[in-house]
Chains A and B, each alone.
Chain A
Amino acid sequence: MGIHVIKMPDLGEGIAEVEVVAWHVKPGDTVKEDQVLADVMTDKATVEIPSPVNGTVTSLGGKLGEAMAVGAELIRLEVEGAGNHSGDSAPAKTATAARQHTDKAAPGGSDTVDEFIPITVAQPETVVTTVTSEATAAPAQAAPQRPASAPAYTQAGGQGSAPAHHGRAAGEKPLAAPAVRQRAWDMGIELQYVTGTGPAARIQHADLDAHVARGQRKAAEGDRRYAVLEGEQAMPVIGMRRKIAEKMAEAKRRIPHFTYVEEIDVTELEALRVQLNARYAGQRPKLTLLPLIMRAVVLAIRKYPSVNARFDDDANIVTTYNPVHLGIAAQTDAGLMVPVVRNAEARDPWSAASEVARLAEAARSGKALREELSGSTITITSLGALGGIVTTPVINRPEVAIVGVNRIVDKPVILNGAMVARKTMNLSSSFDHRVIDGMVAAEFIQTIRGYLECPATLFVE
């Protein structure tokens, strides 16, 4: 028997670390050639790792959700024949470990290999539900002394005090009749969490009912609206959510944001939009406000190109771009994504509208290409009717500006000395204050405001 080590493959595009998002095997499993061992995720793509050989899994190289360096040991198999591994070299360290080394500026050089911990327990579930025992003022029942002939029945009443460990010593098998066991399986209840109120802490049908009704019990006593809730859900932050978390934290940690809010009178713009939609009904895509705002941003960038930039703060280089690759923040089931309308400067409002619709759909269905999800130079974020009156958008690092669109409200406004009803909307925009001065930012937004309040200027240049 030999050892075959499968290393984290290089998935290209200069990616140095890859996250394990699913293990399909555990130590001791027999695997066949081409059987999928794990799913790993780069910034945007999830890739299945197949086994190149037949063998038995002896250890896994990382935990679920762990970022592993390309070339690190992903999995170790015992195989017929010689295998591909001599056995004397230490398993490669994980990306996390590698990072720690650089952070610490390890004096010992490369010899300080972190301990390799094989995982012996598979973790197939991503959601761990912890059912906490009931909060109760009663102390854990220290079994009172009883006459020797009387069994120590656990007294667990419906009066709100549950016995410690559900009437059982820790690790003790829950006791239940076959019919009760079967019903619990059918209901998806783990008997180990159910309090048994029968003799010898036997779990009865009524105990299952009580378990289900828990949290609703107060309802039975009176007002369901004020029921005490129990339990908590621990959700490992992995995959897409972890990416988002990292990006957000990094953006806020590194970038000194400053947010500038201005009110825009969009009465004219709305009128134009309605008119355009009526005129081209059925011939061109229906316009929302977004493509018009996109155009205004493109035009404003012509005057203030420094906001259409990416700041590599490790190299201290700010790169401004001639094309406007406009990121449009979109909510998907997996979380926030930012598909990119490339060369937004070359699109009229209808072309921009259909491109935004196409990208949003691609992002939501998970079919967006990597190029469609990266490379933006400035971002617009809009929650439409949910836009609120003010937001503090987080910059899509390494960009230097983000324009947030708030909701439109009908407002009384003094115009030419008279009070009139106008449609107004705020733009809440954040800038990287390291490279964008307040003056520039304000002028940029005021320019956008100019275009939007006098929409003809969007089309006549």
Chain B
Amino acid sequence: MNPISTNLLVIGGGPGGYVAAIRAGQLGIKTVVVEAAQLGGTCLNIGCIPSKALIHAAEEFDKAQHYASGSAIGISASAPSIDLNRTVAWKDGIVKRLTGGVGALLKKNDVQVINGFARILDGKTVEVKQADGELVRIRCEHLLLAAGSEAVELPFMPYGGMVVSSTEALSPETIPQQLVVVGAGYIGLELGTAYRKLGAEVTVVEAADRLLPAYDAELTKPVGAAIKRLGIDLRLGTSVLGLNAGGNGVRVREANGEETLLSCDRVLVAVGRRPRTGGWGLESLQLDMNGRAVKIDDQCRTSMRNVWAIGDLAGEPMLAHRAMAQGEMVAEIVAGKRRHFTPNAIPAVCFTDPEVVVVGMSPGEAEKAGLDVISANFPFAANGRAMTIESTDGFVRVVARRDNHLILGWQAVGRGVSELSAAFGQSIELGATLEDIAGTIHAHPTLGEAVQEAALRALGHALHI
């Protein structure tokens, strides 16, 4: 079996890599995927899926606790307990089912999966060290780099001991009593909220002066309020200095310059992710870089012919669905089709409580781009369905061009709004105008009515507000 010759070689079996391989297989391209760990990458194993499982478990537990103290609905229950081992096992079961499914899909499409650690020798040759130590050399016509990203480590507070990354935080053996979360981005807030609901005292430390700094203030306001209600201690404008000498607290410098100690028995560092560019011979290709990421064009070509890069390795936005779309496209280009990666918008969802979803431009971004826009909110407080699920926080906002009413962006915050991303994405990708959405009958009673009402309101004739 030494050496292997293939048309397309994919390094990394994450959402970008495995989708590229499946599509390539469908198109009859001989394809090999090299994956050092489990298929599915960060997303399936240590990211999107396990975090949503843990968040769901925490919500259920929180709900039960809520009933234990009586509820407006009239349900009461005795105080719940949680067997964390079973929770983690349940989550692992979902992960296993999904990664197994990916393996089956690859097999079905005649993709060869090689389990091992890849090392690039040149733009057409990769050496893989398999689990048993055996080296396999693979020659390819096209090399697709899909090695993903890794959690950024704080140099003065490396991972280990009570300092954990999101990976360890998703498979806890115990719930800490006092958890300090470093970073109020979406990973920090999602996990911080889940841990709080599972019973930990949670302090979130953020160097910027507001939470979810990537989103606008109006949008994140309900998240901030909910976090406060949950009893999470949010320290904005605060920077982390390191662990204390005793190893039972984190030293921070508060906004007013004062140094304080946050006592804790676990620290979750969630300060971002960076492209995984080191340790697998990538530098030998001397590709053009865009900061830390591999530089690509609108066809995911790198600066070297027939070497392609997709997903987190190619920089922001580091989102699984972007990687998947890029992977699918690269496979089609390799198959000789003419394709470009030119989406009008890539949705981004934040599974906090309430959830946040953004697709396309915010009003601020549109103005910065020199566009004359109109935007309108429709609050869930005026939506019947929201009331029936006890969640009237939040709103849907639309941004459109003033001249021709072309919809440029959607933002929403509220319970379950992540599912609205499908409607948002479709309307923008299809080039809908406000009239298109306002003229579409939306089912009653659903949260989706707020989408139609936001469009109506932007046109100046909302019906229910």
Listed in ascending order, the chain A residues whose CB lies under 8 Å from chain B are 28-30, 54, 143, 149, 151-154, 175-178, 181-182, 185-186, 188, 198-202
Contacts and interface: CB of A to CB of B under 8 A. Distances in A.
Nearest to A169: B403
A185 B337 contact: yes
Contact of A151 (B288, B339, B405): B405
A353 B191 CA distance: 88
A101 B337 CA distance: 50
Contact of A152 (B288, B339, B404): B404
Contact of B431 (A29, A54, A154, A176): A176
Given A30-B304, A199-B436, A186 B337 contact: yes
B404 A200 contact: yes
A90 to B, nearest CB: 28
Given A30-B303, A154-B404, A199-B436, 10 more contacts: A28-B288, A28-B303, A30-B286, A175-B344, A181-B342, A185-B337, A199-B404, A199-B431, A199-B435, A201-B404
A151 B303 contact: no
A121 to B, nearest CB: 14
Contacts of B431: 175-177, 198-200, 202
Contacts of B404: 151-154, 199-201
A28 B302 CA distance: 12
Interface residues of chain A: helix, strand, loop or mixed (majority): loop
Contacts of B286: 30, 54
Given A30-B304, A198-B431, A175 B340 contact: no
Contacts of A200: 401, 404-406, 431, 433
Contacts of B406: 175, 199-200
Contact of B433 (A28, A143, A151, A186): A151
A177 B304 contact: no
Contacts of A201: 404
Contacts, number: 57
Given A151-B403, A200-B401, A200-B406, A186 B338 contact: yes
Contacts of A152: 403-404
B287 interface: yes
**7 tightest A-B contacts by CB?**
A200-B406, A151-B405, A200-B404, A185-B338, A202-B431, A177-B430, A175-B431
Interface string B428-440: 0111011110000
A30 B430 contact: no
B278 interface: no
B24 to A, nearest CB: 18
A29 B337 CA distance: 24
A54 B123 CA distance: 14
Q: What secondary structure prevails in chain B residues at the interface with A?
A: loop
Interface string B128-151: 000000000000000000000000
15 contacts: A30-B286, A54-B286, A149-B459, A151-B405, A175-B344, A175-B406, A175-B431, A176-B431, A177-B429, A177-B430, A181-B342, A185-B338, A186-B337, A200-B431, A201-B404
Contacts of A185: 337-340
A190 B337 CA distance: 15
A143 B403 CA distance: 10
B460 interface: yes
Contacts of B433: 151, 199-200
A106 B342 CA distance: 52
Contacts of A153: 404
Given A152-B404, A175-B406, A200-B431, A188 B303 contact: no
Interface in B329-363: 337-340, 342, 344
A178 B459 CA distance: 26
Contacts of B342: 181
A395 B342 CA distance: 56
A458 to B, nearest CB: 59
Interface in B415-448: 429-431, 433-436
Contacts of B460: 149
Contacts of A182: 339
A202 B435 CA distance: 14
B307 to A, nearest CB: 11
B402 to A, nearest CB: 9
Contacts of A186: 337-338
A28 B289 CA distance: 11
Contacts of B429: 177-178
Contacts of A149: 459-460
A152 B401 CA distance: 11
A120 B191 CA distance: 47
Contacts of B434: 151
Contacts of B401: 200
B27 to A, nearest CB: 14
A188 B401 CA distance: 30
A283 to B, nearest CB: 52
Nearest to B339: A185
A30 B342 CA distance: 25
Nearest to A188: B338
A151 B435 contact: yes
Nearest to A143: B403
Contacts of A175: 344, 406, 431
Nearest to B436: A199
Contacts of B403: 143, 151-152
B297 to A, nearest CB: 11
Contacts of B405: 151, 199-200
Contacts of B344: 175
A201 B342 CA distance: 18
Contacts of A54: 286
Nearest to B340: A185
B101 to A, nearest CB: 26
B435 to A, nearest CB: 7
Nearest to B459: A149
Contacts of A181: 340, 342
Nearest to A178: B429
A32 to B, nearest CB: 8
Nearest to A154: B404
Nearest to A146: B403
A343 to B, nearest CB: 49
A143 B404 CA distance: 11
A182 B337 CA distance: 10
A181 B341 CA distance: 11
A186 B435 CA distance: 31
Nearest to A203: B431
A201 B433 CA distance: 11
A154 B431 CA distance: 14
Interface in B245-272: none
Contacts of B303: 28-30
